[in-house]
Structure 1
Amino acid sequence: MELIKWRDAYNTGIGMFDEEHRCLVTMINRLYTALREGKEETVVKAILEELINYTREHFAHEEELMERHGYPELDAHRFEHNSFRSTIRDLSRMVNQGIDGLGRPLLQMLRDWLMHHIQEVDARYGRFFSEQEL
């Protein structure tokens, strides 16, 4: 069962970024399924490791394109990325220290990120690049 089904509203208009965002939706749905099936502890650590790699690559892709084309909101966007990365690293450290029960807070954070960051913040760069005809 999926918590989130990909919708056109999540598209930024930049194919590579939209595909990378779909990976995030897949991670959210895997975590949701694990929570429903009582397999939280086996999945949370793996999801966090994937998120660390995902954010390193995906955020670098976004920021490089923004930098190259003079996106005016780059600094604010980078700040949001850094905050998200920091939260993911903190949660990963907590899991590695043996703290349980982080699956639901992680799921809520990821869902909120998808709804706010992708639909609002990333949508702005989508409009910017579209207006620049990139």
Structure 2
Amino acid sequence: MLIRKEDFPKVALSKMNDIHSNEIDIVNRLYEAAVNCVEGKETIENVDLLLKEFLQDVREHFSFEQELMEKYGFFAYPMHKGEHDNVLRELASIEKLWNDKKNPETIKEYLERYFAPWIINHVQTMDTVTAMFLSNFVHAE
């Protein structure tokens, strides 16, 4: 397990917490598959499927937040979106590396060194402020 849900920060919007919780599940499954694949206990095909699921989930996660930030005029939208855009560029590079080489070590290292620390910090900072702002407008979305 790469990220423990118990240690993951919560924000003021339950829908964002639900999205984060689901993403942690996906990240952990992808991470475990990559680790097992490096050890010869998992297939490349399974890592490939989980990577696609992860990439789609991140895109939907970011899109959801960005739509709410735009809708309600969040003051730090450009900065928050900029962080999302940086991660999407990184993920495009990882996806290209994966498609070229199919090396599970690449996925494992990216998740350990970059994505896991980034998502925790991002939720503690950007998402916390964003959710607090949005909670003034959004209750059941």
TM-score, with length taken from structure 2: 0.79
Tell whether the 8 Å contact from 1:48 to 1:88 is kept in structure 2 after alignment: no
Shift of the 94–20 alpha-carbon distance from structure 1 to 2, 3 Å rule, reads same
Tell me, yes or no, if structure 1 residue 117 matches structure 2 residue 116.
Answer: no
Shift of the 43–10 alpha-carbon distance from structure 1 to 2, 3 Å rule, reads farther
Instruction: Find the counterpart in structure 2 of residue 23 from structure 1.
Output: 22
The separation in 1 between residues aligned to 2:137 and 2:126, in whole angstroms, is 19
Q: 2:75 pairs with 65, 72, 76, which one?
A: 72
Q: More deviation in 32-41 or 50-59?
A: 32-41
Instruction: Find the counterpart in structure 2 of residue 94 from structure 1.
Output: 97
The separation in 1 between residues aligned to 2:7 and 2:97, in whole angstroms, is 35
Q: More deviation in 51-60 or 32-41?
A: 32-41
Over aligned residues, Cα RMSD in angstroms?
A: 2.2
Equivalent pairs: percent with the same residue?
25
The separation in 2 between residues aligned to 1:83 and 1:76, in whole angstroms, is 11
Tell whether the 8 Å contact from 2:69 to 2:77 is kept in structure 1 after alignment: yes
Tell me, yes or no, if structure 1 residue 50 matches structure 2 residue 46.
Answer: no
Q: Which runs of 5+ in 1 are unaligned?
A: none
Q: Which runs of 5+ in 2 are unaligned?
A: none
AA aligned opposite 1:11: K
TM-score, with length taken from structure 1: 0.83
Shift of the 29–56 alpha-carbon distance from structure 1 to 2, 3 Å rule, reads closer
Shift of the 103–9 alpha-carbon distance from structure 1 to 2, 3 Å rule, reads closer
Tell whether the 8 Å contact from 1:51 to 1:88 is kept in structure 2 after alignment: no
The separation in 2 between residues aligned to 1:116 and 1:102, in whole angstroms, is 22
Number of aligned residue pairs: 132
Q: More deviation in 44-53 or 56-65?
A: 44-53
Q: In the TM superposition, what is the alpha-carbon distance from 1:89 to its structure 2 partner?
A: 1.1
Instruction: Find the counterpart in structure 1 of residue 111 from structure 2.
Output: 107
CA deviation profile, 1:97-121 (whole Å, cap 9, x unmatched): 1152202222222211221111211
The runs of 4+ residues in structure 1 deviating greater than 6 Å are none
